[in-house]
Structure 1
Amino acid sequence: MRTGTFAHDRHRMVQRQLVRRGIRDDQVLAAMGTVPRERFVDESAAGRAYEDTPLPIGQGQTISQPYIVAAMLQAVALSAGDRMLEVGAGSGYAAAVAGRIAGEVVAVERHVGLAAAARRRLRDLHSDNVEIRIGDGTLGVPERAPFDAIVVSAGGPVVPPALKDQLTVGGRLVIPVGPADRQVLVRVTRRGADDFTEESLGEVMFVPLIGRQGFRDSTWTSGP
């Protein structure tokens, strides 16, 4: 691949798509500037890796546009040492970026093929603090809870109760909520055992969140 050219594209993406649009978190900017997004798309689409747009990755899923990844990570105020859960790992890109900041990242993907490919990419990049699991992300990963931050990379009808329960006190959860044509990015903060606050961060558009506490379809099955 054209390593030098991609490095230039990556720097330009950070400056034009992120900084100019209000991303101020230095850790997020640094991570976005180092993770090679071209490695997380099909080789035929590598030349478009740094465009300001989502790209297909197979199985009817997409890799989110760079700005959305940065905005969601900034919204959960990720810090070194945090344990983060990502629901909807997809190609593994957002998990790789989060892994440059957090102490530990657990990412759940329901598509076996996508999860396997994400694991290979993360292994090749020595992202040893990122784990990809296969299963129903709407149920979270209770045996690894609580999480300081949860990022849901798909839009659900409501905030899954299981994910709220797996937040630590002070933890932040960011998720798109609403029907496919009118989703709002919501940030949930846990203030106490049964005390949660919610705030809207603006309109977005994501693929549907499929699972027991999300949308259901006839092809959905939980992974091993």
Structure 2
Amino acid sequence: MTLDYARARETMVEQQVRPWDVLDARVLETLGAIPREAFVPDAVRALAYADTALPLAHGERMMKPVLEGRMLQALLPADGESVLEIGTGSGYVTACLARLAREVVSLERHRDLADTARARLASQGIDNAQVEAVDAFGWSNQRQFDVICVTGAVSAVPTRFLEWLKPEGRLFAVCGRSPAMEAKLVRPGVNRGADESLFETDLPYLAGAAPRPEFTL
């Protein structure tokens, strides 16, 4: 039996995302418009709208739809803003950000994932998202962005990420130690050090951003 992806998408929005306090109309419209199944690996395409993280190559994962919705709502890019995404993965969040913002630059350290994400974005006619096959910790960059979206967990927000943020910009990151991590919205220019705590979750660490091991006697 062929899945009705359009119906599954509507159900995801109404029964998963909206009940988790994702109420912004632009975010809901975006989630309802972008075909998530087009960004999911073939082997798990039937689970494109399930309330679960999905596996990607190299041990990476797509976040649950509810986490993606909360992240998009926290950042809420305006149509004139620039976005930096750290961790392209499947390219789905990239597509959502591109629909909301003026432009997206997305960094993916695995070249094959970057290539696949580019092809998926192109197949959806998305031409305002640029995927760079580069590790964020080795990226040479001089420009700043209005919004930064970090799709993997970090022990703490790296200073270099904050240097890429405009003075009045905002950054989303999941910080701390597994399994009790905290999603935060960081606005350094508003009140330095006063991060907004959003919710608790647990994500795999961004490569190079895990905490140092704790040694006990």
TM-score (norm 2): 0.91
Q: Say which of 144, 147, 159 aligns to 1:146.
A: 144
Say whether the 8 Å CA contact 2:61–2:89 is kept in structure 1: yes
Q: Say which of 159, 162, 186 aligns to 2:160.
A: 162
1:170–1:179 Cα change, 3 Å? same
Are residue 112 (structure 1) and residue 122 (structure 2) matched?
A: no
1:141–1:196 Cα change, 3 Å? farther
Say whether the 8 Å CA contact 1:148–1:172 is kept in structure 2: yes
Q: Say which of 198, 203, 208 aligns to 1:201.
A: 198
> Aligned partners of 1:137 and 1:180: how far apart in 2?
22
The one-letter code sitting in structure 2 at the alignment partner of 1:197 is: A
- Over residues 143-184 of structure 1, what are the superposed CA-to-partner deviations in whole Å (9 max), with x where a residue is unaligned? 3x3111111010111101111111112211010111232211
Q: How large is the Cα RMSD of the aligned pairs?
A: 2.1
Shift of 1:138: 4.2
> Aligned partners of 1:87 and 1:12: how far apart in 2?
29
Per the alignment, residue 47 of structure 2 pairs with: 48
The count of corresponding residues between Structure 1 and Structure 2 is: 212
Runs of 5+ consecutive residues of structure 1 not aligned to the other structure: 218-224
Per the alignment, residue 66 of structure 1 pairs with: 65
> Aligned partners of 1:174 and 1:10: how far apart in 2?
25
1:186–1:138 Cα change, 3 Å? farther
> Aligned partners of 1:133 and 1:216: how far apart in 2?
26
Task: State how 1:84-123 maps to structure 2 within 5 Å.
Answer: 84-123=83-122
TM-score (norm 1): 0.88
> Aligned partners of 2:33 and 2:140: how far apart in 1?
28
Per the alignment, residue 39 of structure 1 pairs with: 38
Say whether the 8 Å CA contact 1:140–1:166 is kept in structure 2: no
Shift of 1:112: 1.2
> Aligned partners of 1:140 and 1:28: how far apart in 2?
29
Shift of 1:86: 0.7
Shift of 1:67: 0.8
Say whether the 8 Å CA contact 1:140–1:162 is kept in structure 2: no
1:83–1:2 Cα change, 3 Å? farther
Per the alignment, residue 222 of structure 1 pairs with: none
Shift of 1:215: 3.3
Say whether the 8 Å CA contact 2:82–2:104 is kept in structure 1: yes
Task: State how 1:203-222 maps to structure 2 within 5 Å.
Answer: 203-211=200-208, 214-215=209-210
Identity among equivalent positions (%) equals 33
SS at match of 1:59: helix
- Over residues 110-169 of structure 1, what are the superposed CA-to-partner deviations in whole Å (9 max), with x where a residue is unaligned? 1111111111101111110011111122466633x3111111010111101111111112
Shifted more, 26-35 versus 196-205: the winner is: 196-205
Per the alignment, residue 173 of structure 2 pairs with: 175
Task: State how 1:72-87 maps to structure 2 within 5 Å.
Answer: 72-87=71-86
1:127–1:216 Cα change, 3 Å? farther
> Aligned partners of 2:196 and 2:138: how far apart in 1?
22
